[in-house]
Structure 1
Amino acid sequence: MKPFYVRELTVYPVGRRRIYLLAIAVLASLIANFETTISTILPLLMADLDMSLQFYGVIAAVSVLVGGLSAGFGGILSDRWGRVTILVPTLTVTAACNFLLATVDTANGLLWVRCLMLFIEGAGITITASLVRDFSPRLGRAQAFAFWTWGPVGAAWLAALIAATTLPLFGNHWQSQAIIMGVVSLILCAIIIWQIAEPSAALRAQVMQAESELNVEEKIDPGRVRELLRHPHLWAHVFGNTAWQILYWTFAIFGVAIMTSGFKMETATANGVVALAIGLNAIVVVVVGRLSDGRQLRKPFTLVGVVLTIAVLAYYISILGTPASPTHVALVYGALFVALGIGYVPWMANFSEDAEDVDPRLQGAALGLWGMVVRVMIVVLLLVAPAVVKVGGWQTWLIVALVGQVVFAGALAAFRGPWRSPAPTVEKTTA
């Protein structure tokens, strides 16, 4: 018996209905990212709990590792039990955990609460990606994943806006933000519970090229996860993109710190540069997704993106530590995020389609495996990057990230899919 909030579709939605359900999946992605955001209150939190940056690094590493384990298992369970069955409780319970966060008064208490929140959240983010796949035929897959990436971007923007507006009203007490985030998240969760739906297991098992391909539900057996493990090109996707994400997460976690120390920028100026770059990235991913879908090509776009990233990153490393103007740095940083956007969304569509070709019933498991490996990498980054920077500076660590981009470019050779669009067929007519 399904929970009350689960609505299964036996016919594939088309037109506005499909777009609407895609929008609900993107909203779920935003909630999953928003309700665990802590960067806006981190300085206040560290001061109040008398916590060092090093100890917070340990908290972040352990909680991310816990979230990685959850991502792997959550993907597998969502394939077997359904997306919404797992997603709604994870979103709702994590939102409620923000009220628990507001009661924390020690660094050890923060560790336990963050581990709990990210264990629940890890499965939720993976499932939102699976839902996006379920509601996006291949003719629109890259565009759909482009909008899905707006989840973390929108979450960071929403958290910053709320903090900037409400912190002064509550005497700069960080607990106010935890409570507000809990309330906002629960309200958004109510919308999700009211509106969300998912394709039946039989529909999820279909490879859909266009939304006009309708299917009627039939009984199917769940796929076996070990089938994914027998395909080297899927491992190339997982580990190749994980190497690519070393750079992304370096900037996501330390981007402002790199600019304030490397270019002697004011914190506000550095945040402005980051905001500009994220805005450019949000636009580029949609444009590139549309182009990739229009030509039904993934690998050429990914290759162009990673080559541009390598070139711009090499230049960024060369000017780090020089008296470059904020405008100069903003142009380079913006170009870097444009290049990252060009490569990422077509890759995600490519990975989804390659996993789909192995077994469309295991989409959640494939995305969960990827999410788990990426989170293990983030743990290593949190523990290793500060030590490398202490010895060799940020240039040394960014060279490590540059090598990750090269590894991803090499892994691209193992991905499936065409390098050029098929030639149009011309039908012969007889007189």
Structure 2
Amino acid sequence: MNDILPADETLWTFFEQTARSMLRAYGYRQIRTPIIEHTNLFSRGIGEVTDIVEKEMYSFTDSLNGENLTLRPENTAAVVRAALEHNLLYDGPKRLWYIGPMFRHERPQRGRYRQFHQVGVEALGLAGPDADVEIILMCQRLWDDLGLTGIRLELNSLGQASERAAHRQDLIAYLEKHSAILDDDAKRRLHTNPLRVLDTKNPALQEMAKGAPRLIDYLGDASREHFDGVQRLLKANNIPFTINPRLVRGLDYYNLTVFEWVTDKLGAQGTVAGGGRYDPLIEQLGGKATPACGWAMGVERILELLREDDLVPQDEGCDVYIVHQGEAALSPALVAAERLRDVGLDVIFHCSADGKGSSFKSQLKRADASGAAFAVILGDNEVAQQQAVVKHLRSSDQQDNQVGVAFDQLTDYLIDAMVASADA
């Protein structure tokens, strides 16, 4: 787990604001769920034999009432739980999004932590391939809005339960023939979650996995028609993709379309976003059978890509830094700071570190380091003359970079100066 320090605030804010703008453009509304849920929500929703439930969840027993609780390892199950609990689907489909911390006890990697952050969407009550494609288009729009390149779309279909059952039988038979080379993870998954064996990162097993029966070859007419519809709509929107018949998701609730956005810029673990359709989940958690699809992306991994591509925005600093000295200047300086904030300017008011006051020289150094465009300077002489000195901190003309301005004209002067500076 890691701290997010003030130096990172500009990048996090840039990503969050860009994501919010994109999500608003598609009609999605935010939902916020607790970071702690009952453990059985995830064991029922994600699957008892998934890596997350078996090895990665932070679970504990509440010492006050004996409830089994878990820090959320993902948020789809929690969003569905909230939708059912609050009857959100009574008046039709819902487009929901979330952002927040998730928790998994997995091996830390670049851009991946045990407390990590995800932004995700859940489209509840939408059944067609158009819904699948729309959520994929949302990701592409976000990459474009952020300026990211080199992120590829991989696509597959997991079909329906009966199709997976037929494939599972043949897949287990195939894997049993190669049991001598299976590692411990593969042997553990062989009879519980054999699809995950195909997603192995073990180079010694990857060649064997290439020859395994492909689930895509077991799709029935309806599943194939759905998958064809997804491909057709992606092509109509000029979204390139690769069909990866080995692509599976690590959660049990997926069916039909699954996808991942991957990059080569972050090492072997290059997935930055993933999702798909999970029609069984709502009924599985106690609701009426309802179609649904969604995705989640790791915020830290995307920020790593922004740094890798040198797309970190500059911190523009504040607008005004108030410099003051002397008892007589303290009150009018504080009043001036509030009046400037009233009109929307960002203002830092200098406060002494030792309570004894600071020299104008040291305060102006802090003003310059703050990134402020202007310093407003007040001392005994300025108070006596009922005016402030405005210093243009970013002016290239050192001979004409400060001017006296009457108190009652200070706000108008700085607004005009800010506009002129922006137009320059």
Structure with a larger share of its residues in strand:
2
TM class by smaller structure: under 0.3
Give the TM-score normalised by the residue count of structure 2: 0.23
Higher relative contact order (CA 8 A, sep 6+): 1
Structure with a larger share of its residues in helix:
1
Larger radius of gyration: 2
Give the TM-score normalised by the residue count of structure 1: 0.23
